Structure 1
């Protein structure tokens, strides 16, 4: 285990709005912030640059308190968090805050390669944008910001994250994809519904999703909680799914943390309770999936997380009372579902929609449905590939996918279906250093799948050398 995993090498920086204004004046990027721009409160930046012999990868987590002031559409104020290096925009994330409310937002930014040698460090900006996505004002600018160099995991092209079992795979995903987390969610390792319903909420909180048996935490889950040192842990599911011993084990590992349970009488009630916690953006949508089988729910959960929208579960031929109650408490003007009429009947979707338009993603089989859902993702260079035959390893991939902007692709154990393969190719084709993450061991996803995926890549050199000829005065350009 490297130093980062021991919790000793992460650099974080907390700023208040007043300090941020002073910092931006120093680098000459920020002018007066318009009175109607969003208001930025305290914020943190955590940055790590993983370096090894083959590769380097930068990761940044930006957390801040934002108050929405200007209606950029649908009653929401929009902001963008972005990382620059030597005048090149490396990554950006947009989010929305309802006008008149204050919300804690989390943005995860990453890029493969060492930051350059022109200007010191990188530049991290939080900017107000209008309804068209154009910058209005810079709320904060940290330039230079220096990540910690850590000898640690870095992959490009294809990586595999898989442990001895589903619980260890979840812990490894958290360990390798979460530099820091104030909140952690824990769901049952025995069944899929609670974990998939919780994924959009976990993504919004910037939280990893760990798994546990009903009777208590495993050693690997406890070790990951100890590494992250979150201030809050949420156990998702009722006492049958996860007993009191799980909460007691969490509290013993983290004596000062707040430990909560969100759980109902069954999977439908739990999903409804979790759905009510998701803070929706200006696209008032709800996603509906089967609570009786995992493949459609898995891929739809990733799309719901990307859209900052709640996911509820239903039976195939009848809408559970708990789901109907949850939907009655949500505001939505569009409903999205995954699976054909044999998975979710038209009557069920009509009842759930209550008059709003319904979009159904349905292929000839689970892979055809997954392909249609994957088509909704923009090409941002990242894909997670999981088994379409068994749920355990795939369960905790969704918060990671939402965090990195990745789509979730389902594969057969020995080969990726042709349509899915085409979509993966589309998603990775627009970036110089794309990343496909295979989730699970070689039994769930055979080595032949990795060999097949490797054919999508050319012969780009390993991004371990610093770029040359990029001399700049600052990372964030003065004019854009």
Structure 2
């Protein structure tokens, strides 16, 4: 769904990046490659090609497909399935013996494709949060990731980094040790570290840096949970295509909720994942912060509800479900018509509310 939102039609490159949806380093490191190709990042089950990804590759008419990671990340079976369904496509696997080597292989492919980034991104290879937030920057600038361990950067990465002018270090010293700054200084690479007390504060600081450094004034913004990685992995392409930032949120008190002050012209907010990822209260806090009209239903305890005799009411034993969801677009022909939300049975109506440009289903 993220790919469809980012690419209404096939990108000119007809390219796609496929990575594992069960681990984060490969897909994160691939954001620079996807950005250079103007392509989506699609996630798959490691053992067999996920149906949704297979369908999206077909919709995009992909003829240049990059498989990221070794056999444990994306099995040969997945690669063979892609080859079978796209016999005329060029399929390239980028992999190394470790996640650090895979990130380096992605950079080498970037160089082969003619990309000449001047800025590199340094993040830990063992946690995802900070790298998720900087991934749209990587996408927009084709800025490659180099992964650090607690002992610093490996020799191969350092040798390659001699080609760069600047390195952005994301996260605090617990994530990327100070020795990395010393390593980079020794080879003449200037550094800037972006960090906060929590991953959510770091996400906000990375957002500010991205907006200021790239002189962006976006009309949209992307939110994802900071507690897990899959939704945001694909979200780097959506944010990158829209030249905006990806912000992590935990709850309605997360510091990123107030990001509307640094994004004054946002008209559309993308929230990635279902209510288990971003709950209704957080969704509504984001919506309110940006002055948007859409709200999600927050379940409230209603002991012994008294049903209205002339109106069917949902209840746990006999819910009333319809065919639409609150927030979805609706047809002008359906204006003022009512239905029941497919997820919770609450009554919804098709209308144009304040902040809408076209009719949507809204909770009554």
The answer to whether the 8 A contact 1:200-1:304 is kept is yes
Does residue 1:274 correspond to 2:112, yes or no?
Answer: no
Q: Structure 2 matches for 1:336-355, cutoff 5 A?
A: 336-353=168-185, 354-355=187-188
1:462 maps to which of 351, 356, 362: 356
Give the unaligned 5+ runs of structure 1.
1-171, 466-480
- Cα deviation per residue 1:34-92 (whole Å; 9 max; x = unaligned)? xxxxxxxxxxxxxxxxxxxxxxxxxxxxxxxxxxxxxxxxxxxxxxxxxxxxxxxxxxx
Does residue 1:374 correspond to 2:207, yes or no?
Answer: yes
Partners of 2:148 and 2:207 in 1: CA distance: 22
Partners of 2:42 and 2:116 in 1: CA distance: 30
How far off its partner does 1:306 sit? 2.4
Partners of 1:246 and 1:461 in 2: CA distance: 44
How far off its partner does 1:285 sit? 1.2
How far off its partner does 1:316 sit? 2.8
The answer to whether the 8 A contact 2:5-2:238 is kept is no
Q: Cα gap change, 1:325/1:213 in structure 2, threshold over 3 Å: closer, same or farther?
A: farther
**Which structure has the higher relative contact order (CA within 8 Å, separation 6+)?**
1
Does residue 1:407 correspond to 2:255, yes or no?
Answer: no
Q: Cα gap change, 1:333/1:343 in structure 2, threshold over 3 Å: closer, same or farther?
A: same
2:138 maps to which of 296, 300, 304: 304
The answer to whether the 8 A contact 1:203-1:400 is kept is no
Give the unaligned 5+ runs of structure 2.
294-353, 360-364
Q: Cα gap change, 1:316/1:176 in structure 2, threshold over 3 Å: closer, same or farther?
A: same
For the residue of structure 2 that corresponds to 1:396, the secondary structure is helix
Aligned to 1:89: none
Partners of 1:241 and 1:452 in 2: CA distance: 36
Q: Cα gap change, 1:283/1:240 in structure 2, threshold over 3 Å: closer, same or farther?
A: closer
Partners of 2:284 and 2:19 in 1: CA distance: 33
Partners of 2:258 and 2:281 in 1: CA distance: 17
For the residue of structure 2 that corresponds to 1:249, the secondary structure is helix
Partners of 1:397 and 1:368 in 2: CA distance: 19
Q: Structure 2 matches for 1:37-436, cutoff 5 A?
A: 172-178=1-7, 179-181=9-11, 182-278=14-110, 284-328=118-162, 331-353=163-185, 354-376=187-209, 377=211, 378-412=216-250, 414-418=251-255, 420-427=256-263, 429-430=264-265, 434-436=267-269
Question: TM (normalized to structure 2)?
Answer: 0.74
Partners of 2:150 and 2:222 in 1: CA distance: 27
Aligned CA RMSD, in angstroms, stands at 2.0
Question: TM (normalized to structure 1)?
Answer: 0.57
How far off its partner does 1:359 sit? 0.3
* Matched pairs, number: 287
Partners of 2:145 and 2:292 in 1: CA distance: 38
The answer to whether the 8 A contact 2:171-2:194 is kept is yes
The answer to whether the 8 A contact 1:382-1:404 is kept is yes
How far off its partner does 1:441 sit? 1.2
Of Structure 1 and Structure 2, which has the larger fraction of its residues in helix? 2
- Cα deviation per residue 1:393-431 (whole Å; 9 max; x = unaligned)? 21111012111112010100x32513x22323421x225
Partners of 2:36 and 2:221 in 1: CA distance: 19
Partners of 1:282 and 1:273 in 2: CA distance: 15
Of Structure 1 and Structure 2, which has the larger fraction of its residues in strand? 1
For the residue of structure 2 that corresponds to 1:233, the secondary structure is strand
The answer to whether the 8 A contact 1:263-1:273 is kept is yes
- Cα deviation per residue 1:177-229 (whole Å; 9 max; x = unaligned)? 21213001101112100000001210120111111122120111111111111
